[in-house]
Structure formats: structure tokens, C-alpha cells
Amino acid sequence: MDHFLYRDGILHAEDVPVPRIAASVGTPFYVYSTATLTRHYHLFKDALVGIDNLVCFAMKSNSNQAVIAHLAGLGAGMDVVSGGEYARARAAGVPGDRIVFSGVGKTENEMRAALTGGIRQFNVESEPELDRLSAVATSLGLTAPITVRVNPDVDAKTHEKIATGKSDNKFGIPISRADAVYAHAAALPGIEVVGIDVHIGSQLTDLAPFEAAYQKVRDLTLHLRAQGHAIRRLDLGGGLGIPYERSNTAPPLPTEYGALIKRVVGDLDVEVEIEPGRLISGNAGILVAGVIYVKQGEGRDFLILDAAMNDLIRPAMYGAWHDIVPVVEPEVGVDQAPYDIVGPVCETGDTFAKSRPMPPVAPGDLVAFRSAGAYGAVMASEYNTRPLIPEVMVKNEHFAVIRPRPTFDEIINRDIVPEWV
């Protein structure tokens, strides 16, 4: 469920008519619903009632300061994968003891910043990282709490570019080597082993891969405890999918996911961490674009929008589907026609949809990409010197720009021309 609904024939973001925002900030733009963010966060918290838990929002899905601060105010922790995301979380008021640092390529500077600024744990992904973290922590006279990310060799049955739990993926250590790595970690100075981490991929629409991975984590927990390791925390990752296409069968609900976690690891007397991103932020945002031209081609017609692949890269990168709807609700039973929906960037890949049935639209009309709150603005670029588009947040009948569109001068003036040119 989201809070982007038609009222009196006009798409609203909560209680704000979308055309009102367009008139204020111009198109294209992203808009996020605080009510949807709140609801989706609480779906996970409610699903884990009865076990000690922390829901850490995966910031890579949407790292706007307003989004982070709102979720942090609800009690969310943060899962970060870079020094920049760590800095964003701290700037948004997230305490260090609610920040988990993931990622395969943590640098010494990133480790140092998190150790001195406060950190809940590092999810360590390799032995070289473990050794380097030990050296950095020791040099600071501090102790780094860690989990080891194990790769359970479970096929998440998701897109190959967002699968992370198979043996040929770059993430984690093979679960078969866990004995040796945990023994090594326990012997290192400046390292405190607190638990186990696993994450098998993103946009999962079936609970079976989760169950297979979590059962392996359960068995490993009992095994490591028998060897004397104090495993008191299980980071079970994220990855629960959302329905991008409204006609598709809905993915499992957070309640079903929570029931699975309780069934598999609920009796282990551990604190459970989960790291949802997409399911919290995905349906909490839409991308609104204007139609520039309706173009007739050879055997196909095109809707040319003012949004482009640099604003929403998912269709070009992943072949991802987003429902695209007119902001003015079409009449019931109106005839639809197939269009290729494209942007203005000089790339054939700048295509959002092919042969997509659409009701009649005209230049100047507005359309909305649903389920665009995750991996949308956060992955945007200024390719073709196209400014990053505004991000807007709504609450009830109010809206605010939470990231403005830069001017061309602001973009150009970031470049420095050497005096010898």
C-alpha cells in the first residue's frame, strides 16, 4: 500500500495534488510520502514483535537526509556501505550504536571514521578486511565489534546483478571457511566478535531462499557457540521484494517474513537485525515527468519525456518495470495504445518501457512512475549535464523541497580550469 491515489481525477501525494508540486518545482521531480515510509517501517517492527530486534534501513536505497532523519525518529537503525553514507547517517542524527557498516571495500579512513564516531558493528566480508580493521582499531586504542558475513551459496532467484549470496558473488566469505575465519578473528587484537551476518540479494519474491540461508546461519550459530564464540547477534540482511508491476503476484508480506525469522532462529536467544531498504522506501516515492513530444515512428509511437535514464537508471540497467500512469486519471474504458516511453538522452538505452499500453496523452501532460522511491534519485547522475532533479517530501497537505534542482551555473562552476589551459 502507498499514499499516491487519485482524488477527483487527479493523482495526489497524500493530500497534495501532484500538479501543485509540478507547478512549484517544475518537472521532472521525485516525491516521497512520509506516511508510507512510516507504515512500511512499522510493518517490519510489528513483524518482529516478541524477539529482540533492530530494523536498520538500507540507506543505499534512498539516502536523502530528510528520509533518514524521519526513519531515525521512528527508531530505525541504518545500514551503511560507505564513509559517505556513514557521514549522512550521523548528520541526520542517527546515533553510532544504531549504525551497521557493510560493504566489501571498506578503507582505513572509513574504518577510522566509524570507530571514532561510534558504530554498532562492522559486517566484515574478507580476511584482509579483518586484519586491516584490527590494525586500525589497535592504533586508535579501540575495539571494533564485528560480525562476519558468510556466503551461504544460496540462489536468491533474483536478477543476476542484485544476487549476493551465491558462491561466485563477491560478497562475504564461504560459509565452509567460517571455522577458520572466526578463530582468526577471536585471536586478533582490537576485534570483538558479536555475531554472524548474511545477505543473499535484493528484490526477492519467494521466502524459500531466505529460509535456506537462515537455516544455515542457525546451524552455524550453534556450531560456533560450541567452539566458544559468543554469538549474540544475527544480521539477516534485507532483500524482500516489492510489486513493481501492479498486475504481478504480490511478494511475501513482512508478517510472513517475520514469522519465518521467528520460526528458524527465534529460539537462539540472539538479537536479530534486518536491513530492509526497497520495501521501506520503494513504494514511498514516485517520479513525476512531463511529456515533451508524442512522436510517430516507423511501426511504433513514442512518448518522449523530460525525465531520462540519468534520473531513473533502473530500466536501462536492470530492465526494470515501473508502472507509468497519467497524473490526470483517464476515463474508465478509454482506448489505450502502445508507446515506447523514452527520455531525451542521446542513448538508445534511454528507454523506460517498450510497447507500453497508455491512455491518450499530449505534450505538457504529466505522468508518474510508481515505486520509484528506492534506487531512483540515489543512483541519479548529471549525464549530458542534466541537473539532478528535485526531491520533495509530503506530509498530509504539506510539501517541502528536500533537495533542490541545481542551476547550470552551479554545475559548471564545480569544474576548475587550470591556469595553464
Residues 285, 67: Cα–Cα separation, whole Å:
11
Total residues belonging to the chain: 421
Q: What element of type H or E holds 20? A: helix 18-25
Catalytic positions are: 346
Q: Which amino acid is at 32?
A: Y
Q: What element of type H or E holds 101? A: strand 99-101
Q: Which amino acid is at 322?
A: H
Place of cell 571455522: 179
Q: Which is nearest to 389 in space by CA: 366, 410, 405?
A: 405
Residue 157 region, left (φ>0) first, then alpha (ψ -120 to 50), else beta? Answer: left
Residues 302, 351: Cα–Cα separation, whole Å:
10
DSSP letter string, 308-347:
-TTT--HHHHH-----EEESBPPPTT---EEEEEE-SSSS
